[in-house]
Amino acid sequence: MIYQIFKILSSAIKNPTTELVYSSNFELLIAVILSARTTDKTVNKITEKLFKIANTPEKILKLKVGAVKKYIKSSGFFNTKAKNIIATCEILVKNFNSQIPTTREALEKLPGVGRKTANVILNIAFNEPTIAVDTHVFRVANRLGLVKSKTPEETELKLLKIVPKKFAKTAGNLLLLHGRYTCLAQKPKCKICPLSKLCAYKFKIY
């Protein structure tokens, strides 16, 4: 059944990747940092303007924290995010030759980068078979009955054990996009859901 679920999702969702707009790994990193408690749509509006002015660690540092705050003020917790972005850029320039590190350990040492953000970077930028568990992935994975978990990390670890190898690199985004557009939090669109015949939630065993 698990294979069938991801096969159906893969057929329904043609481009299972992030909806954040970026043109480099650095831009992706900044966009994902900004996406915490903020919609991708809002982040894309912010970065469209920000990246025209500053799209490298060096250029961000030249802006300084005050200017960064002005650019990202429509993002949630923008004061903290601005400080984290500046601190992250300083580390990238000093320790990584302005390149994005390729390991989880190094990524999670960057200010503003937690496990979920690191997973996004590893998956999208470096094609690693990771799963970034946000509210959508957590909800959908539990609703479908793929896992029974109480935390994002528990959800991630359980999913990694059961996701078929064929879908290892796309599973997280398939679940995320399904949750964002079909399996909504308050009013899931069960009538048009391609997984309705396989869903634990539909049959009240959620």
Q: For this structure, is 116 an active site residue?
A: yes
Q: Per the residue annotation, which of 69, 81, 109, 116 is the catalytic one?
A: 116
Q: For this structure, is 40 an active site residue?
A: no
Nearest to 170 by CA among 15, 8, 63: 15
CA-CA distance, 121 to 141, in Å (whole number)?
21
Q: Per the residue annotation, which of 69, 134, 158, 169 is the catalytic one?
A: 134
Instruction: Show which residues are catalytic.
Output: 116, 134
